[in-house]
């Protein structure tokens, strides 16, 4: 069968793929989104675990591209729950009539560049072959769940789940002995909810994480009105910030103020909740001494919130500076450890040795279990790309090119892979930001770029090796000026055995990054080679 010809293939129907489809349509391109899941929504389709919600405020964790959309949709809580976010996505699909170009339950298995035809040949697990001029990878940074390779899992007689692959039906833990392995954002959100149901919950913690209270609650009409009446201005402001969100940005170092002012500032930020805390001073991410004050403050809060001093100490993160590992935002996380039906196991002191038919064995001790929840995270940023056999010019494999860590220009394009774009790819701010802001910026940049090619009778754009090298140098340089390398986190690939230890996101900030991208476009896509049919 000859391949189906199309202008643009978009892989993934999360927030990114959905918006990319809309923009492709507006450019008059024929486009198809291919999505492995049984529904659109990406993160919010897959992560249905108890307690799942966003931790960037709903009013900003939403699309900004349509003022009508942001005026007509009303969020109910400061941080929306997963079902509400998924309802919002469904609303967007209907409102902009996007469903008819989204192909569900189909996984892209390979994307191979045909040099002679200047087209991408894309194969799916249904055996369909498509040929497209543009291939846009909207495959997600957190879409490849990681289940540690424990011996014996297949013999476990209870039920096991990964937070990122949660079943669609209600899971009732009432009366059950449950384990949660992992204390990142997914663990911190699910642990209090599971604890309220289970007969007993054992939390297996390898590394404690910093968590700031969410102070979640219903949004008042006044809150909503404030946002809606000022949306254009507030969105614009967010676009220029470091993290793509509106926080009160401090101009002061934590070292410049008295202990009273410092603690008062931390206290006020703590009361506001969420990532505001990280903005308390301007050098928490760059200066270890400043960071130590924030660490000390949060340790004291943990000790206040947890009754048993030994448990409290175990929950105090001591191996990494605050903010260099994705912080968590919680509702009653630390208080959960005061419950009689919750226990904490330190996996560093007593490593998990194996999963047994009736539970798991850690440090020689058997834990009898009815269910295990893996909140063990994702093969972040590169996992989904590597699951596709992506081959560029001269058959070079992306996986091979990136075997020592990703190399890209702006996290958007890769030398040797013409007309292929990665949305929120490694080397862009992506996961270090309000991702709605970052993904909208990427999609608009890609759409403008495709438009530019059309207007100039060009049909190919490819990052140059020099531009890519220079960008990677800048990405590493920016990270070197921070404390990020001091932590074993998925930001540096430390959570997946064998993954190269490099910085995956660009830490230079969303606003700065946007400026760089805009300037490159304004200079006729500096650092890219552009060509037309006449050049071929």
Would you say 437 or 460 has its CB closer to ligand N01?
Answer: 437
- Per DSSP, helices labelled H in 337-481 are 383-386, 398-401, 435-455, 465-480
Q: How far is CA 331 from CA 220, 336, 382, in A?
A: 19, 9, 31
432 closest CA partner among 376, 491, 512 = 491
246 closest CA partner among 259, 256, 233, 257 = 233
361 closest CA partner among 372, 350, 374 = 350
Q: Does 64 sit near ligand FAD (CB under 6 A)?
A: no
Question: Min. distance of Cβ 510 from ligand FAD in angstroms?
Answer: 11
Question: Min. distance of Cβ 191 from ligand FAD in angstroms?
Answer: 14
Q: Does 52 sit near ligand FAD (CB under 6 A)?
A: yes
Transcribe 385-426 into DSSP letters. Answer: HHTSEEE-GGG-BHHHHTTTS---BTTTB-TT-TTEEETT-B
The single residue among 139, 186, 419, 422 that binds ligand N01, judged by CB under 6 A, is 186
Non-local CB neighbours of 396 within 8 Å, separated by 6+ positions: 416
Q: Nearest residue by C-beta to ligand N01?
A: 184
- Options 175-183, 199-207, 213-221, 432-440: segment touching ligand FAD (CB under 6 A): 432-440
Q: Does 82 sit near ligand N01 (CB under 6 A)?
A: no
Number of residues that bind ligand N01 (CB under 6 A): 26
Question: Min. distance of Cβ 320 from ligand N01 in angstroms?
Answer: 9
Q: Give CA 14 to chain center in angstroms.
A: 11
Non-local CB neighbours of 188 within 8 Å, separated by 6+ positions: 209, 211, 328, 329, 330, 333
Question: Min. distance of Cβ 163 from ligand N01 in angstroms?
Answer: 6
φ/ψ of 456, rounded to 5, equals -105, 20
Please identify which residue in the block is written with the tokens 């676009």. 239
The single residue among 214, 388, 398, 410 that binds ligand FAD, judged by CB under 6 A, is 388
3-state secondary structure of 451: helix
102 closest CA partner among 3, 36, 23, 43 = 36
Q: Does 441 sit near ligand FAD (CB under 6 A)?
A: no
Q: Does 434 sit near ligand FAD (CB under 6 A)?
A: yes
Would you say 19 or 337 has its CB closer to ligand FAD?
Answer: 19
Cα gap 164→182, rounded to integer Å: 13
String marking each residue 409-448 x if it binds ligand N01 according to CB under 6 A: ----------------------x-----------------
- Options 106-114, 307-315, 375-383, 420-428: segment touching ligand N01 (CB under 6 A): 375-383
Would you say 82 or 460 has its CB closer to ligand N01?
Answer: 82
Would you say 45 or 490 has its CB closer to ligand N01?
Answer: 490
Footprint of ligand FAD (CB under 6 A): 11-17, 34-37, 42-43, 45, 47, 52, 54-56, 61, 107-108, 138-143, 164, 186, 384, 387-388, 423-424, 434-435, 439
């Amino acid at each position: 069968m000859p391949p189906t010809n199309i202008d643009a293939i978009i892989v993934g129907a999360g927030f990114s793929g959905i918006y990319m489809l809309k923009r492709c349509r507006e450019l008059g391109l024929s486009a198809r989104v291919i999505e492995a899941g049984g529904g659109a929504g990406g993160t919010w389709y897959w992560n249905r675990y108890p307690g799942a919600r966003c931790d960037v405020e709903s009013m900003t964790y939403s699309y900004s591209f349509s003022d009508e959309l942001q005026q007509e949709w009303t969020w109910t809580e400061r941080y929306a729950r997963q079902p509400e976010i998924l309802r919002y996505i469904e609303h967007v699909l209907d409102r902009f009539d996007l469903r008819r170009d989204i192909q569900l339950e189909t996984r892209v298995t390979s994307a191979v560049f045909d040099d002679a035809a200047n087209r991408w040949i894309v194969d799916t697990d249904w055996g369909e072959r498509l040929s497209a001029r543009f291939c846009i990878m909207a495959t997600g940074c957190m879409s490849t769940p990681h289940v540690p390779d424990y011996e014996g899992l297949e013999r476990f007689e209870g039920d096991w789940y990964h937070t990122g692959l949660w079943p669609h039906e209600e899971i009732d833990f009432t009366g059950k002995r449950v384990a949660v392995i992992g204390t990142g954002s997914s663990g911190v959100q699910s642990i209090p909810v599971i604890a309220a149901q289970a007969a007993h919950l054992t939390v297996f913690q390898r590394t404690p994480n910093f968590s700031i209270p969410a102070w979640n609650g219903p949004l008042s009409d006044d809150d909503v009105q404030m946002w809606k009446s000022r949306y254009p201005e507030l969105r614009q402001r967010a676009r220029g910030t470091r993290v793509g969100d509106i926080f009160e940005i401090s101009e002061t170092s934590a070292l410049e103020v008295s202990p009273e002012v410092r603690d008062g500032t931390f206290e006020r930020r703590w009361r506001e909740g969420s990532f505001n805390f990280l903005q308390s001073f301007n050098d928490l991410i760059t200066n270890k001494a400043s960071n130590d004050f924030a660490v000390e403050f949060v340790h004291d809060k943990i000790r206040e919130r947890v009754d048993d001093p030994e448990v409290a100490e175990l929950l105090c993160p001591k191996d990494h500076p605050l903010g260099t590992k994705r912080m968590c935002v919680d509702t009653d996380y630390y208080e959960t450890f005061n419950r009689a039906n919750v226990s904490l196991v330190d996996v560093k002191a007593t490593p998990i040795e194996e999963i047994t038919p009736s539970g798991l064995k850690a440090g020689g001790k058997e834990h009898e279990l009815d269910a295990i929840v893996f909140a063990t995270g994702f093969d972040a940023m590169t996992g989904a790309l590597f699951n596709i056999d992506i081959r560029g010019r001269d058959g070079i494999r992306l996986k091979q090119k990136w075997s020592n860590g990703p190399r890209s220009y702006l996290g958007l394009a890769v030398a040797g892979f013409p007309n292929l774009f990665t949305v929120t790819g490694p080397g862009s701010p992506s996961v270090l930001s309000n991702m709605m802001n970052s993904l909208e910026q990427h999609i608009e940049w890609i759409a403008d770029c495709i438009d530019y090619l059309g207007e100039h009778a060009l049909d190919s754009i490819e990052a140059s090796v020099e531009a890519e090298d220079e960008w990677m140098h800048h990405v590493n340089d920016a990270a070197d000026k921070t404390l990020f390398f001091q932590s074993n986190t998925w930001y540096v690939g430390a959570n997946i055995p064998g993954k190269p230890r490099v910085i995956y996101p660009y830490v230079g900030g969303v606003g700065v990054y946007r400026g760089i991208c805009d300037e490159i476009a304004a200079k006729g896509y500096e650092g890219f080679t552009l060509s037309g049919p006449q050049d071929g």
